[in-house]
Structure 1
Amino acid sequence: MTEFRTFCHISEYGEAGYLQLHRMIASSSPLVLWAPSSTLLSAPSCQVEPREFVDFVRRGHVRVMAREEWLFSPSKRNGHPWEGAAWTPSVDDELKKFAEADRDLEASQRRVTVAPPEPGKTWATDHYDENGELVAKVTRVLKGRAPEKNIPIGVLETARRYENDPRQTVEHILRDVCNHGDAITRSGAEAPFFLSPRDSQFLRWIDSTAEIPAPHREQHLDHAELAAQLLALLRTMEISGGATDLGRFVGSAGHDELARWYASICRCVALERPKSLEGKVSRELNRALDGGRLHNTFRSWISRRVEAPVFALGLATTIAGPFVDGPSMLSLAGVLLGAVPVGNGVLRRLGYVPAQYTGAQWPFLYSFGHEASARRIRRLRKALDLAAEA
């Protein structure tokens, strides 16, 4: 399985983060989550059931990182001011077991990792003392018309608990950003998932305000845009196919292919640093589809003039046989066996054996649960065209 480690501070986004969980899992290998909420796994918008989530962690497709209190203390969790922190035994007891079992493994192999104490609190206090002018800047943003456009909702909600104390407000914002940067670094993720445009805006704003210890910030700005495009694309594909069976897809060849494809886009952008990323993910998918060819279809085979008469004879024999001899199992078996050499692979031509597709199969496996066919290619193309026009 291709290694393409991604990261998401999922609970910062509330239910909106868990709405995207299945798509992040499908495009990662593995997905690392910071302190996921077992409560929000049961939200109606989440398409990953708690039992399925635990199984994904068990199999290593999802990894979890959190502080020791989050992973080992039900009382601390249940006493947390945020209701999403509540402990759910069916999920959190299992994560606790994984954390205990994996403590001595290499960091990259742990299914659940106990993170060390946070660095943000001390760093924020020291940085505030050295940069008192931050108070005015942060206060202006918080008291502006729409602070949520510049500050992630989770960070904003925490800061507002201290809005009557400008110093604590600033310190909590800096603390959260520092801890986020530290978590991304510790996760070993190649591409973080930022699920809102405000993430990019916040990174730009905080970058102009203070030097936060979060490496690869410019690449993270690109990842925010790429993630938004990818998740929108996967949603379109789900609508096109009707439903996506995540349990069947994850761990399959299609999952590996999708993770490898998205990884190549992220690596290409990191290397080339294009000025604009608009439509980048959709263009790459269309390019992959343009390069695919479907062979051994009825239409492609019948167009071969030399073989067509032979096929016609085989097909006529196949159709007529049961009516002449009677529809016995013996005569049907004889027809099927005899038609293959006469018609040069009539079963494949008629669709009983899948046609061969030279392009990427993951879009069809994700959207439809089956490999490419002429009908599925048309349906997917139409859905992508409609999404591009919207």
Structure 2
Amino acid sequence: MADILDIDAAVIGAGPAGLMAAEQLAQAGARVVVFDGMSSGARKFLLAGRGGLNLTHSEPLPDFLARYGAAQARLTPAIEAFAPDALRAWAEELGEPTFVGSSGRVFPVAMKASPLLRAWLRRLDGAGVDLKLRHRWSGWDDDGRLLFDTFGGVRPVEARATVLALGGASWPKLGSDGGWVDRLAAKGVAIAPLKPANCGFLVDWSELFVAKYQGAPLKNIALSFGEHSLRGEAIVTKGGLEGGGVYALSAGLRDAILADGAATLTIALRPDLSADELAARLGKPKGKQSLSTYLRKAAGLAPAAIGLLQEAARALGLSLASLSPGDLAALINAVPVRLTGIAPIARAISTAGGIAFDAIDDNYMLRKLPGVFAAGEMLDWEAPTGGYLLTACFATGAAAGQGALAWLGR
């Protein structure tokens, strides 16, 4: 076994929550080491930034906070202390100014995560933060020391404070595999089961539909489930549906499937047209046109939308050609899609479930493990995409770092 490393604070997990906790600690003069099991840090953060890093959102703070649903009350103090405007100012201090997109989402001008991460790591290094990679946390020894599996064997670490920021269980190949659950549960920490969030769903498509439309987008549609309806897009996958519009409704759909075994998502293919307007268009003579050509020209449906309509008719035992213009118009703007399952958590954007808020105090310290703090997706909260996920990770990381400072008496 390697020599014991003795430090003020250990931060386990080099994602946004962990690095933000380390920054709080280092700025107060604590000796901090960040440990990560991968060969480089913040891998999921970098993946999120490949298509334009959505850091946060510009909507009014009360509306912003409401996006966290049942966890709103518990997350509010942390987010108010490190609000979206503060996050934008922090990024600008690192030389990465931001802008507000047409949707209200906030992005770095560079539209990438890598420049921001490089600048952040340089600042942390300058503050004395040590980053130790390929150190996979395996628990504690009998004396309460942290243990890390490395290529050189097991490394013990004596830390007066520990911040856990190990993420959830989505995209495990990037480092967050949920392996911490059993270790904390064995210590008596209450943990809600990890579930996919902002995820796709399974549909029993016909082989013909999959062969023709796998990977095709469904654009300019409206999606509805229960009391919730929104405009958005979806993508047909080999096994079902995914995409922004689906993710936005995923929490309710997931819970319904877990409770009942299935759920029906309703899709309006031409939400910009009223039933009467659509029926009037469909009432024009079809002539010698094929049904697909007729639907494309009269209703303005794209090929994938026509295929989805045909799938729904097949499932309902209907013949589209025999429907009246009014009934066809009604079906076009209320296509039922039966979801039979939830896509695997490994493909989800984020994770629901985790450490119960009742298991931590107001400083984000685990009640069962004095001196041990938790932040980010390890905690039991979820939020839609749009900058809410990253904001809460940054904010809870800052809160856990401040809590660890209080524990250290700094």
Compute the TM-score of the two structures, normalised by the length of structure 2. Answer: 0.30
**Which structure has the larger Rg?**
1
Higher RCO (C-alpha under 8 Å, 6+ residues apart): 2
Compute the TM-score of the two structures, normalised by the length of structure 1. Answer: 0.31
